[in-house]
Structure 1
Amino acid sequence: MSSTISALIIIPAYNEAECILTTARAVEAAGYDYVIVNDGSHDETLEICKENGLNVVDLPLNLGIGGAVQTGHKYAQRYGYSIDVQIDGDGQHDPKYLPSLIKAIESGADLVIGSRFLNHSTGFRSTFFRRIGIGWLSKWIKVLTGKIITDPTSGFRACGERAIDLFCESYPVDYPEPDSIATALRKGLNVQEIPVEMRERQGGVSSIGGFSGVYYMVKVTLAIWIACMNRYVQ
């Protein structure tokens, strides 16, 4: 694969047969290299990738979103990409924002988050209860790090070399986005946000809902606290 831009797009995919081809073709049309990380899908995700000549790394077991994304970071590191960008395989993230994320990295940021909550975005923002949870995590990160992150659960993120190296060494397994932000801030990385608009998922089912949503909030809250408290015991 080739691109005029030294950036790799990471597309973690678990049971995304409905929209993985559309997502990959959109990234190709935008002119970027990409890797799909098939995280042990039980549907036809892998078959669709192979049949259509998509660049895919197949994980034989489901590692969870954290393991899939870390695989993408390790791929970027191995093949010499100085920037990588994570997007969801379900079509929520619009490739038109990729240049803005990459530009922010090139301007000095280590980790850039695409936020739905800057500049009063009119795009899809998820349910009311999820927005409450996002608000709680945002406040929790601010209390522990002093940094305001308006959209800590966003999976639309770009990493520079320092963040890639950090996340290749260690990356949270479950629901990693808020936890990894706290870790990056603790390590002194420059974390920024840019405004983006997101779309409703084009297929598949979210892994967070019902009781799993409660588990998510408890686990991530504790994980952020532990990540931030580590600075005082190291």
Structure 2
Amino acid sequence: MYGGRTIGVVVPAYDEAGFVGEVLETIPDYVDRVYAVDDRSRDRTWLEITDRATRLNRDAAADRGRGTLVANDAAFGRRIVPIRHERNRGVGAAIATGYRRAVADGIDVTAVMAGDGQMDPAYLPALLDPIVDGEADYAKGNRLTDGVYRAEMPRFRLVGNAILTLLTRVASGYWRIGDPQNGYAAISRRALDALDLDAVYDRYGYPNDLLARCNAAGLRVADVPIPARYGDEESSIAYATYVPTVSALLVRTFVRRLARRYPFRKRHPVSLSYALGAFALGGSALEGVRWVLGRRSRASGRGSVALGRAAFLAIAGTALLALAARLEKRLNAPLEVLR
């Protein structure tokens, strides 16, 4: 237990042989239960999980018998719980599987530590504290808050992460939360009860989708500075498909979140401003096309009018979107916890 709360850790793993065993070994003793979820790996990941779980569970049982293990309740006789998907479903699905088991076991706070060893267990208390102290429902790591932390991240990841941070802020409504791709996080049982885990995105865009769903549910999110840690592991992300896929996901999550938090039928100023701004920018694009066609047909009069309309609509649309964003920042400020 930690701070009087039972703690669980989900370890999603896909082709992490040589790494996942060490992750299981280094999870702190105050963690009551570990859900090691193999997403149908092609290598020896599952064998490594089951072998290590057998030994660690045996050692934990021996410690309880000697009375030397006080962190874990006797109800959690099997501390490491190996779980294997029947087919590869994605990292988001693996985490959701662990979350469901944690809810079924009555775990108070559940964290995520990737099977590749990039998440330093020494920083787990920093994620647990905002939830245990009642400040937040969901706490996530942020590797971009400190120059020293940013220096540890490869440049191509840093640039991509900065872009996705901006897009995710718009899509999620958490305007002060950064590093949305960081999966090192902890969540309360209350938050898990409020979320539809079956609907959370299955693949690598799951942290972005989860943030938007947290906002739609009115959950408080803490941003916790945590340094990056990179070793010999290799990323399995295919960026050629990852970027467009996550971009499309962010558009869908943005629209879905607005529909839930600011129903258009109630004429909420946020949804109205976003809708009118998007409509104006769309009209600006059409007038721009008319201007181009007018120049080609040498209809200079019509072309000038179209250009003027395009400029006016562009300015109006940008102003409306900025107004909507400013309103959102004010409304969502109570849901953001900065550590």
Separation of aligned partners in 1, 2:247 and 2:197: 25
Q: Which string of whole-angstrom CA distances, capped at 9 and with x for unpartnered residues, describes residues 148-169 of structure 1?
A: 2111111101001222221535
Aligned-residue Cα RMSD (Å) equals: 2.2
The reply on whether 1:188 has 2:218 as its aligned counterpart is yes
1:103 alignment partner in structure 2: 129
The reply on whether 1:84 has 2:101 as its aligned counterpart is no
Alignment equivalent of 1:156, drawn from 163, 168, 184: 184
Report the CA distance between 1:183 and its aligned residue.
Answer: 1.3
Task: Confirm or deny: 8 A CA contact 2:12 2:36 kept in the other structure.
Answer: yes
Change (3 A) 1:14 1:124: farther
Change (3 A) 1:133 1:216: farther
Task: Confirm or deny: 8 A CA contact 2:131 2:137 kept in the other structure.
Answer: yes
Alignment equivalent of 1:113, drawn from 140, 143, 154: 140
Alignment equivalent of 2:258, drawn from 215, 229, 232: 229
> Normalising by the residue count of structure 1, what TM-score does the alignment of the two structures yield?
0.88
Separation of aligned partners in 1, 2:166 and 2:150: 22
Report the identity percentage: 26
Change (3 A) 1:86 1:223: farther
User: How many residue pairs were aligned?
Assistant: 230
Change (3 A) 1:127 1:223: farther
1:65 alignment partner in structure 2: 91
Q: Which string of whole-angstrom CA distances, capped at 9 and with x for unpartnered residues, describes residues 109-152 of structure 1?
A: 01111110123343665332332222222222333415221111
Task: Confirm or deny: 8 A CA contact 1:141 1:148 kept in the other structure.
Answer: no
Q: Which string of whole-angstrom CA distances, capped at 9 and with x for unpartnered residues, describes residues 52-79 of structure 1?
A: 2153111111111111010010010000
Separation of aligned partners in 1, 2:95 and 2:264: 28
Secondary structure of the corresponding residue to residue 148 of structure 1 = coil
Change (3 A) 1:186 1:48: same
Separation of aligned partners in 2, 1:220 and 1:135: 17
Task: Confirm or deny: 8 A CA contact 1:86 1:156 kept in the other structure.
Answer: yes
The reply on whether 1:219 has 2:218 as its aligned counterpart is no
Report the CA distance between 1:31 and its aligned residue.
Answer: 3.2
1:31 alignment partner in structure 2: 30
What amino acid is the match of 1:106?
Answer: V
> Which segments of structure 1 move beyond 4 Å, counting only runs of 4 or more?
none
Change (3 A) 1:230 1:202: farther
Separation of aligned partners in 1, 2:35 and 2:13: 10
Q: Which string of whole-angstrom CA distances, capped at 9 and with x for unpartnered residues, describes residues 165-192 of structure 1?
A: 2153532112200111011012110011
Over alpha carbons, which structure has the higher Rg?
Answer: 2
Q: How does 1:159-170 map to 2 (within 5 A)?
A: 159-165=187-193, 166-170=195-199
Task: Confirm or deny: 8 A CA contact 2:170 2:254 kept in the other structure.
Answer: no
What amino acid is the match of 1:156?
Answer: Y
> Normalising by the residue count of structure 2, what TM-score does the alignment of the two structures yield?
0.63
Report the CA distance between 1:220 and its aligned residue.
Answer: 3.4
Separation of aligned partners in 2, 1:223 and 1:85: 26
Report the CA distance between 1:87 and its aligned residue.
Answer: 1.1
What amino acid is the match of 2:138?
Answer: L
Q: Which string of whole-angstrom CA distances, capped at 9 and with x for unpartnered residues, describes residues 172-230 of structure 1?
A: 11220011101101211001111111211443x32223413333442333243233233
1:7 alignment partner in structure 2: 7
Task: Confirm or deny: 8 A CA contact 1:109 1:190 kept in the other structure.
Answer: yes
Greater fraction helix: 2
What amino acid is the match of 2:244?
Answer: Y
Separation of aligned partners in 2, 1:215 and 1:141: 14
1:48 alignment partner in structure 2: 48
Gaps of 5+ in 2: 55-79, 266-339
Between 1 and 2, higher relative CO (CA 8 Å, sep ≥ 6) is seen in 1
Secondary structure of the corresponding residue to residue 149 of structure 2 = coil
